[in-house]
Amino acid sequence: MEQWFEYKGAFFDHRVVSKETLDNMPDYVIRDDDVVILTYPKAGTNWTIEIVNKLMRAAGKTDMEAKDIPWFFEGTLPEFGKPGHVIVEDHPSPRIVHTHLPWHLAPKMVSSPKGKVIVVMRNPKDTAVSLYHFLVKFERLTGIQSVTSWDKCAKDFLNGIAPNGDFYDHALGWWQMREDPHFLFLKYEDMRKDLSNAVGKMKEFLDITLDDVTTSSIVNSCTFDSLKTSWSEAGNQTKSLIVRKGRRIGFLIAGVVGDWKNTFTVAQSEAYDAKYREKLEGTGLQFDFE
Active site residues per annotation: 100
SS3 9: coil
Backbone angles phi, psi at 247, to 5 degrees: -105, 150
User: What is the rounded CA–CA span in Å between residue 23 and residue 278?
Assistant: 32
User: What is the rounded CA–CA span in Å between residue 105 and residue 113?
Assistant: 15
Residue 34's nearest CA partner among 86, 110, 102, 106 is 110
Residue 272's nearest CA partner among 134, 157, 120 is 157
Name every residue whose Cβ is closer than 8 Å to that of residue 50 and which is 6 or more positions away in sequence: 66, 222, 227
Which neighbouring-strand residues pair with 35?
96, 116
CB 105 within 8 A of CB 8: yes
User: What is the rounded CA–CA span in Å between residue 97 and residue 86?
Assistant: 11
